[in-house]
Amino acid sequence: MMDCKEAISFIHEYFDGLLDDPSQQQLKQHLLQCADCQKRFNELEQTEAFLHSIPAPPVPSDLTYKVMAAIPQPKKRTAWMY
């Protein structure tokens, strides 16, 4: 039977997307029997959802222009005419 310490590390592996099926089953068994770990799992699941819901800040529209204006101009090559 899995202990809580192992379960917590499995929970994180699960959220990393790295927990294989047999281990997920083992974790599920533990969560069914352990209210503390189940609570932690639910809270982390909610935290993940919140993190994914943060909207991207608006980017200033003239940013490319500003960046390019600050990039040094290439040295003009002298066109040698013969």
| Phi, psi for residue 72 in degrees, rounded to 5 | -55, 140
User: 35 or 71, CB closer to other proteins?
Assistant: 71
Instruction: Give CA–CA dist 29/22, Å, rounded.
Output: 11
Q: Is 59 left (phi over 0), alpha (psi -120 to 50) or beta?
A: beta
Out of 58, 78, 79, 80, point to the residue binding other proteins (CB under 8 A).
58
For other proteins, give the closer residue by CB, 35 or 82: 35
Nearest to 44 by CA among 18, 5, 16: 16
71 sits near other proteins (criterion: CB under 8 A)? yes
Instruction: Select the residue interacting with other proteins from 1, 35, 56, 81 (CB under 8 A).
Output: 56
Interface residue list for other proteins (CB under 8 A): 9, 12, 15-16, 40, 42-44, 46-48, 50-60, 63-64, 66-68, 70-72, 74
